[in-house]
Structure 1
Amino acid sequence: MSPRSRTTVTLPDDLLAHARAVAPGGNLSAYIEHALRAQQLRDAALALQAWRVRAAREAEVEEFADIFGEDVA
């Protein structure tokens, strides 16, 4: 288990009420941790996709340079 830190977060009343109502066993911290981890994965997926697009473009430029024998960048 990783170290834990206490923090304060301000949320709209309706969102907080919903989270409290659906938190498993009333554990709001676990519910919010789950939501943040899910967002963390989505953020990582977006970063990975951007990296793949850049890598593919760099590979295309290298391929054109090999074909045409010059710097096409």
Structure 2
Amino acid sequence: MTTRTRTTVSLPADLVAYARSASEGNLSAYVEHALRAQQLRDAAPAVRAWREGRGVADAEEFADLFGEDVA
């Protein structure tokens, strides 16, 4: 199980209102999903370079790189 850490962030009120509405009652999961998606976008150049050097990765290899929720 993943260890969770409580944190505080400051965001514009309209963005928080939107996220609360879109989260269907689970703001933490909504934010986690958004951050994981950004993590993948940030890693895309490295993954692309890795794939070009090694071929296409399977789901298990991506899980090892980015966590099991991604695969």
**Which category describes the TM-score, using the shorter chain as reference length?**
0.5 to 0.7
Whose helix proportion is higher, 1 or 2?
1
Q: What's 2:28 paired with? A: 29
Deviations 1:35-58 (A, max 9, x none): 000000000103334678xx8xxx
2:65 corresponds to: none
Hey, what does 1:47 align to over in structure 2?
46
* Structure 1 outlier segments of 4+, above 2 Å: 46-52
Q: In structure 2, list runs of 5 or more residues that go unmatched.
A: 54-71
Residue 19 of structure 2 corresponds to residue 15 of structure 1:
no
* TM-score when normalising by structure 2: 0.63
Identity %: 69
TM-score w.r.t. the length of structure 1 is: 0.62
User: Which consecutive unaligned segments of at least 5 residues does structure 1 have?
Assistant: 56-73
- Distance in 2 separating the partners of 1:11 and 1:47: 29
